[in-house]
Structures are given as C-alpha cells and as structure tokens.
Homo-oligomer: A and B are copies of this chain.
Amino acid sequence: MLPLLLPRAVVSGLRGACRSSPSWLCTRACSTNDSFQPQGPNLCNSGEGSSTSGWRVLGSLLGLGAALAYHNHRCRAAQKESPHIYTKEEVRSHSRPETGVWVTFGGEVFDVTEFVELHPGGPSKLMLAAGGPLEPFWALYAAHNQPHVRELLAQYKIGELDPKDNTPSTLDTSDPYANDPVRHPALKVNSQRPFNAEPPPELLAENYITPNSIFFTRNHLPVPNVDPDTYRLHVVGAPGSDSLSLSLDDLRKFPKHEVTVTLQCAGNRRSEMSQVKEVKGLEWRTGAISTARWAGARLCDVLLQAGHQRGDTETHVCFEGLDSDPTGTAYGASIPLARALDPDADVLLAYEMNGQPLPRDHGFPVRVVVPGVVGARQVKWLGRVSVEPQESPSHWQRRDYKGFSPSVDWDTVDFDSAPSIQELPVQSAITEPLDGETIQSGEVTVKGYAWSGGGRAVIRVDVSLDGGLTWQAAELHGEEQCPRKAWAWRLWQLQAPVPAGQKELNIVCKAVDDSYNVQPDTVAPIWNLRGVLSNAWHRVRVQVAP
C-alpha cells in the first residue's frame, strides 16, 4: 500500500478550503492539470494554477450536483463554532459514495468523500475504513502517522463523536462469545459466532508478512481467555517416561525456533465452489490464507523430552485446544508422528507471531504451527499433546476436512473412506484487480499470491488475460525458500499491455510448484460436498474503460 506522502507545500496550499466554490463553478477556467496525481482536494480557492482533478474525479464519480451538496455540507459543519455531535451509528451509515464517506479519528468525525479518489494508496484502501475509525488502518500503515497527514485530515472535520459511544458495552455473560476479542474492522466477517473472517484482497497481498490484526481468523468455538501465568501445556509421556506439564516459561527454555509459514484454511475459495452447487461451509473468498513469522519450541524437541521416538508403525500426535463447546468437547486434531519428529518439518509449539505474543484470536498463549499443512491441524490455545496409535478422534479430524469425488453427496458420504487432509495442493489467486472492476486501458497490473503444501516451492505463476488461451509468466516476490521447506507463499505481479480494443478481460492465474503439480482448470470436477480444496484456476473479469 502506498503511504500518504504529500509534500508539505501541497498540504499547506489546501488550508482555507471552503472559502470559495469548487472549480467548475469558477468563472475563470483552471484546466492546467488533468492527470490523476496524489494530492489533496484542491478546491481552486486561490486560482494559483492549482489542479482541478480532485473535483473532476469526484464529479464524475458522484455527479456534479451530489458532489456540490457534500462540499457545502462539509463547509457548513467545519464553520460551526460548537462542533456537531454524531453517533457511531450515524457515522456507520456513511460508508458509501452515495451516502458520503465518513471516518472517525480520536473522537472526531471527518467527511472524506471528496478525498476517496485522491487517496494515494488507492480509493479501495480508504473505503475499507468507511463508516468507522481510521486508527486500525493507520496502525497497519504507520506512514500515516505524520503531521502533514493529520493536517490534511483536519480539513475534512465535520464534527465530533458522541462521547457516550466511547463507553464499552456491558458484557453479556450469557453469551459464550461475549468475551471474544475486538477485531480489526478491515476483516470481512464470514461468521460472527464463532468468529471467522478474512482480510480483503486489497490488503491481503500488500504485505509479504500479514499484519497480525488482519491475519485470517478461523475459530470453531468461542475464544478461551487463558491466564498466561497459570497456563500449563500437558504433554503425555511415552511408556516409561514422565508426562510434562509445561508453563510458558518452561516452553521458552527449549531452543527458540523461528520460521515464516503461510497458513491456509481448507475452505479457502469455497465461495467459487458453491457457485457450482451448494456446499456446506463458510463462504470464504480468496482470503482464508495469511503468512506470519512464527517462533516457539520445536514439537520434536518437546516430544523427545517426553520420551517419544519414531515407531515402526504409523502413529499420530494428537492435539487438544482449550476451546470447547457447551458439552466440554475441545477442538482437536492430529498429524503423523513422522512429521512431528522430523526436525526438517519445522513443526512448532508457537508462542510468538510476528515478534508479538500470539493474539487471542490466533491461539494465545500457545498454538501448533505445522508448515505445509492445512490450518485445521494447527490447533490454537493448545492444552494437551499425546502420541496415539490412531488419528485424533475429533469430529474435525474424522468427520470433516476430507476430500471426496463430486459424485459423493450427504446421503452417500463415507468419511472413513478418505484420508484427513494434511498437506494442501498448489494454490494461487488474483488479489488485484477485483472481479467486476473497471480498469484503465493501456496497461494492467495483476497481483496475487501463490503457495503449495508440503514445503513445495511455487516455481511459476502463469497469468492469462484471455481466459486461458495465452499465458504470461508473472514476477515472483518474497523470501527465498529453503529446498523442500518452502513453507511460505510467493506474492506475484504481472504488468501487461491491455490488448487494444478489448472491452473486457477474463484474467486467470495458475501456479506450478516444484513437483510440477498444477491447479486444475475448472471447479466443477473438484467440487465436493464440504467445499474444501478449492484450487482451480482463479478467474477475475474486469471491464476496460473506453
């Protein structure tokens, strides 16, 4: 995301806005600059050769009359001596260009409708904050925390937030989710209880390391409130060995191991599968995937201390979370012992995420991180580890998170007939442009992510602008990956000329991993009743502006 980097001269030139009408009402023509540049909403107040582009873009967006109405409204509000008081609800109702776009910051309310199209990071990024507070976004993008940005914002003040709206709401103790943490407003919520949400595509591939606050969240149950001082991780000992009861400090005494790992939910991109035929599951779009730098003890070190070794026959390491349903049943999952004991598999009992203690939504104080494996096995709020001859008996291990033939339905499904998902297949998606967007002719920038399971590196992403007839290889970005341990995604980008005369582009991406596995062309033949493993070519249709 481009930070707001406005030269002070431009900002100071903006002072005194509202002293006159916008440029198209000026008797004097001021058509010096038609190009779109990152600058404030210059209102042609002084006639000093300043640009009209802000109003022009806004005018074309909203229609001239509407734009004028907003302008006047803003001016009236700012001129008042005692500030106008707005409720949160009123602010929230101004979240679209048609209603006007309001935001809050530090108890003040701003009408930034006119600024949306001028936002240097792009209109879509600013719109993520529409109708709510700017703080969570400025916390993500620290470049905003500069005096000239504050000054720019001040121009748009229309009033203040009702102080009553700042008191926290009373805790509803009858609601098992009442104690869930506060989440970042940019997250697109697929389910509030349990909380399941993904970052929007505009933000997802902006950062190689996903900020904790917008890392996708997949909860199956209410978030437990764990006291780190009394927390103990119970590790069942091997026959003849003692079990371990590890405090956070005990866990920190094991060698600290750090690794960058992409986590993906098995249901990522399920919404495309449900367009083929109804599936059972949350409507994840392309955002049920994120990347963090995790740190913690290696599971193999902890298991060795509890006396566990490689067995001759396949055995499983079972995990239980501290989250549980009203009957007391905890979330559970397992992975093969061979993977757990392989030092090269980098399986962690993680207590840090991007240099911070784990956020509550991501398993505070300890979660399992199993690189290259489906998110469902990376148990959060970890309470218990044991080595068993069978997979975890958990519903989520045995009766969910498995793939089936498209011919299998809820009448015929036999969950025992398919293996639990562990490593995931090769995956990629387009995050820019958005489906349905209108792009400028000339050149198009296509961006996205690509990843594969099992430590297999993405070696190529092919992008097509014509629905898959012709392809161009994208540039790959991101951390260099160790051979056989490519745990993290690649971000990718392609800049390509828009074919002349094209009114619409059917943009497609497909990735190849270092086992030369590829994504399937279409969704229907991989459709399955739970809508998991949706990794067909990702397709985005955009219009080309004439």
Q: Are B426 and A459 in contact (CB under 8 A)?
A: no
Cβ of A519 within 8 Å of any chain B Cβ, yes or no, is yes
Residues of chain A from 472 to 490 with CB closer than 8 A to chain B in the complex: 472-473, 482-484
Q: Which residues of B contact A338 (CB under 8 A)?
A: 344, 483-484
Q: A522 vs B536: C-alpha distance in the bound complex, in angstroms?
A: 12
Q: Which residues of B contact A454 (CB under 8 A)?
A: 454, 515
**Contact size range, A:** 35 or more
Q: Are A407 and B471 in contact (CB under 8 A)?
A: yes
Q: Are B516 and A403 in contact (CB under 8 A)?
A: yes
Most chain B beta carbons < 10 A, residue from A418, A422, A472, A517: A517
A495 to chain B, nearest CB (A): 16
A81 to chain B, nearest CB (A): 65
Cβ of A533 within 8 Å of any chain B Cβ, yes or no, is yes
Q: With A407-B472, A473-B405, A473-B407 in contact, is A418–B459 under 8 Å at CB? A: yes
Partner of A484, one of B336, B407, B426, B484: B336
Q: Which residues of B contact A314 (CB under 8 A)?
A: 482-483
Q: Which residues of B contact A516 (CB under 8 A)?
A: 403, 421, 423-425, 533
A127 to chain B, nearest CB (A): 35
Q: Are A525 and B510 in contact (CB under 8 A)?
A: yes
Cβ of A388 within 8 Å of any chain B Cβ, yes or no, is no
A459 to chain B, nearest CB (A): 6
Q: A344 vs B336: C-alpha distance in the bound complex, in angstroms?
A: 15
Q: Are B462 and A405 in contact (CB under 8 A)?
A: yes
A508 to chain B, nearest CB (A): 9
For A505-546 the 0/1 string (1 means CB < 8 A from B) is: 000001010111111111001100000010000000000000
Q: Which residues of B contact A514 (CB under 8 A)?
A: 419, 422-423
Q: Which residues of B contact A7 (CB under 8 A)?
A: none
Q: Which residues of B contact A380 (CB under 8 A)?
A: none
Contact surface of A with B, Cβ cutoff 8 Å:
314, 336, 338-339, 344, 403, 405-408, 418-419, 421-426, 453-454, 456, 459-460, 462, 468, 470-473, 482-484, 510, 512, 514-522, 525-526, 533
Chain A to chain B contacts (Cβ below 8 Å), 23 pairs: A338-B344, A339-B484, A405-B460, A405-B462, A405-B471, A406-B471, A407-B471, A407-B472, A418-B460, A419-B459, A419-B514, A423-B456, A423-B516, A425-B515, A425-B516, A462-B525, A471-B525, A510-B525, A516-B533, A517-B517, A518-B525, A520-B520, A520-B521
